[in-house]
């Protein structure tokens, strides 16, 4: 079988390639003949992990630029908090002491959901006063439920663009419904997701949360401490929670961090206070 390209007829290269492919024996028509970019099994190999890293870095970067998004405020916090309305509904429907206890805890923690929602709205209201996209600060979250949903919701319902960086997990996490069309991204690698949390971040706002929130928070603090990024305000909402969970003062006294490392960290109780710190830091009107 000759694979020489015909030159004296109107057959196109595409037609020739299709003909050549059809002439292959069934034995040769396997995965090795697939285009590399169209071979899912090949792209999933350990040797191609660098390519997958690059794709997860590049895709959101390109699409965010196309949407004119240069600056973000990244909001972290527990996935388990619900709105006050939802918590009251849970309390109303509780039929056992255990369910009632869970509903009361949900109601207690709903203040953080409502605060994050208010914060998203405050940022959106500021953006509405800015003529240029270059001056706007878009709400960015992990795209899931709880605090992430609340911050996205506050901005979305105020008419602003809002971003979600979702992650594939064993217990599948679905994007919340308050992410703008075209700005909901799905990641496989935590490392690349974290990079996008930071690439455009002009502030970090962390509400009470679990392992994931602490992981992301201390990643940011380490980047600032080691001067890998320009210092940005890191705002911890819920003073009692953060003081009980992390004794930063004792870390300074013990000598494992310096007082200078605390300059970016701000403790607040309300959404208004969190937004005020960002306004003061960047001298926003």
Residue 2 falls inside a structural domain = no
Residue 88 falls inside a structural domain = yes
Residue 53 falls inside a structural domain = no
Domain residues for 129? 58-282
- Which of 150-154, 155-159, 168-172, 264-268 is least confident? 168-172
Mean per-residue pLDDT, 187-196:
95
Structurally, how many domains does the chain consist of? Answer: 1
CATH number at residue 253: 3.40.50.450
- In the chain, what is the straight-line distance between the N-terminal and C-terminal CA atoms, in Å? 74
**Per-residue pLDDT tens over the stretch 66-116:** 999 999 999 999 999 999 999 999 999 999 999 999 999 999 999 999 999
Residue 9 falls inside a structural domain = no
Residue 74 falls inside a structural domain = yes
The DSSP bridge partners found for residue 203 are 73
Residue with tokens 């869970």: 102
Q: How far apart are CA 216 and CA 26, in angstroms?
A: 51
The pLDDT confidence band at residue 1, using thresholds 50, 70 and 90, is very low
Residue with tokens 């970016």: 264
Tokens of 152: 């996205």
Residues 6+ apart with CB under 8 A from 59: 185
Residue 41 falls inside a structural domain = no
Residue 37 falls inside a structural domain = no
Residue 136 falls inside a structural domain = yes
**Per-residue pLDDT tens over the stretch 230-266:** 999 999 999 999 999 999 999 999 999 999 999 999 9
């Amino acid at each position: 079988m000759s694979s020489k390209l015909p030159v004296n007829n109107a057959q196109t290269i595409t037609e020739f390639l299709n003909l050549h492919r059809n002439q292959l024996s069934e034995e040769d028509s396997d995965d090795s003949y697939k285009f590399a970019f169209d071979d899912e099994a090949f792209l999933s190999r350990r040797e191609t992990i660098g390519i997958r890293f690059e794709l997860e870095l590049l895709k959101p970067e390109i699409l965010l630029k196309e949407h004119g998004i240069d600056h973000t405020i990244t909001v972290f916090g527990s996935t388990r908090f619900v709105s006050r309305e939802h918590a009251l509904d849970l309390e109303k429907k509780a039929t056992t002491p255990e369910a009632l206890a869970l509903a009361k805890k949900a109601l207690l923690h709903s203040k953080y959901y409502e605060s994050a929602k208010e914060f998203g709205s405050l940022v959106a209201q500021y953006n509405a006063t800015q003529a240029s996209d270059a001056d706007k600060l878009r709400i960015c979250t992990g795209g899931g439920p709880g605090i992430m949903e609340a911050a996205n919701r506050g901005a979305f319902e105020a008419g602003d663009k809002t971003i979600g960086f979702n992650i594939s997990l064993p217990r599948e996490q679905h994007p919340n419904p308050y992410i703008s069309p075209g700005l909901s991204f799905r990641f496989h690698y935590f490392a690349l997701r974290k990079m996008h949390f930071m690439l455009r971040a002009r502030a970090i706002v962390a509400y009470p949360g679990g392992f994931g929130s602490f992981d992301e928070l201390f990643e940011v603090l380490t980047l600032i401490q080691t001067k890998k990024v320009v210092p940005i305000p890191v705002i911890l909402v819920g003073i009692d929670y953060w003081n009980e969970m992390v004794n930063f003062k004792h870390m300074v006294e013990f000598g494992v961090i310096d007082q200078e490392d605390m300059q970016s960290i701000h403790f607040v109780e309300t959404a208004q206070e969190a937004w005020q710190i960002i306004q003061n830091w960047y001298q926003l009107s």
